Amino acid sequence: MRWKKGIIYGIRMIFVINAVYLAFNMKFLLVGLLIGSLALTFIPEVFTRLTHVKITETARLIYALFILCSQWLGTYLRLYDSIIWWDIMLHFSSGILLGYVGLLILIWADRVNMQTGRHAFRIVALFAFLVSVSGAVFWEIFEFLSDVYLGSNTQLGSLRDTMEDMIFGTLGALVFVVYLVITERKKSHSSLARLIELNQNDKKDE
């Protein structure tokens, strides 16, 4: 458990140290990017504080690694430009992460039924899938608006790039749902089971 927290803090220190170095070199646009990326790593804590829904340490670590890969390695170190599959890999990964977000939303919105198992599993899996796919679509809308009104080039002026991003995000969502189905049938200790167990004894929400 401690080593996972250590890695998360290490990732945050990468952003802080790099931002300080860039500030001394007067590269304030990149400083803003890194500070914004640092802020993103705190979203799980903010979500827990606002909703009282606990998130497993493993999920927090995976999310922090995703931010590191997308913002520091991908944007700052420009791996998006040098590794052709980097963007596709991250969109696929985001589909899995957003599926997990769907589970968090369900626990927050209807904790009692989720904890007692009153929700049909098919509804849970479908909801996680739809949240993930919707996230992929909304991200592409955001990129389009950024390109049109802010002059960025996130979509490379290409319909192919947009569709590839949404397709791989959808595939990631599908993989997450298949994982949920397999673990449910095998009665394994799945991500859903761990989340429910973690939040069952939260006295703040009783």
pLDDT of residue 205 exceeding 60, the answer is no
Q: Which pLDDT does position 204 carry in this prediction?
A: 45
What band does 202 get if pLDDT is binned at 50, 70 and 90? low
For residues 50 and 118, membership in a common domain is answered with no
For residues 132 and 146, membership in a common domain is answered with yes
For residues 114 and 71, membership in a common domain is answered with no
Q: Which pLDDT does position 203 carry in this prediction?
A: 47
Residue whose pair of structure tokens reads 């979500």 in the numeric block: 47
For residues 75 and 131, membership in a common domain is answered with no
For residues 198 and 114, membership in a common domain is answered with yes
Greatest mean pLDDT among 35-44, 102-111, 118-127, 185-194 lies in 35-44
For residues 140 and 72, membership in a common domain is answered with no
For residues 68 and 95, membership in a common domain is answered with no
Q: What is the pLDDT of residues 27-73, one digit of tens each?
A: 998 899 899 999 999 999 999 999 999 999 999 999 999 999 999 99
CA within 13 Å, CB half, 26: 0
Domain final position from 51, 83, 115: 83
For residues 137 and 114, membership in a common domain is answered with yes
Q: Which of 142, 140, 139, 114 is nearest to 128 (CA)?
A: 114
Mean pLDDT to the nearest integer, 6-33 = 94
Tokens at residue 70, please? 């997308």
Q: What is the pLDDT of residues 129-170, one digit of tens each?
A: 999 999 999 988 988 887 788 676 667 767 888 899 999 999
For residues 187 and 99, membership in a common domain is answered with yes
For residues 79 and 96, membership in a common domain is answered with no
For residues 2 and 99, membership in a common domain is answered with no
Mean pLDDT to the nearest integer, 106-126 = 84
Residues whose CB falls within 8 Å of the CB of residue 161, separated by 6 or more in sequence, listed in order: 155
Burial class, 88, CB count within 10 angstroms (exposed 0-12 / middle 13-18 / buried 19+)? middle
**24: domain range?**
1-83
For residues 45 and 92, membership in a common domain is answered with no
Domain final position from 83, 114, 131: 83
Q: State the total domains in the chain.
A: 2
Domain final position from 56, 83, 110: 83
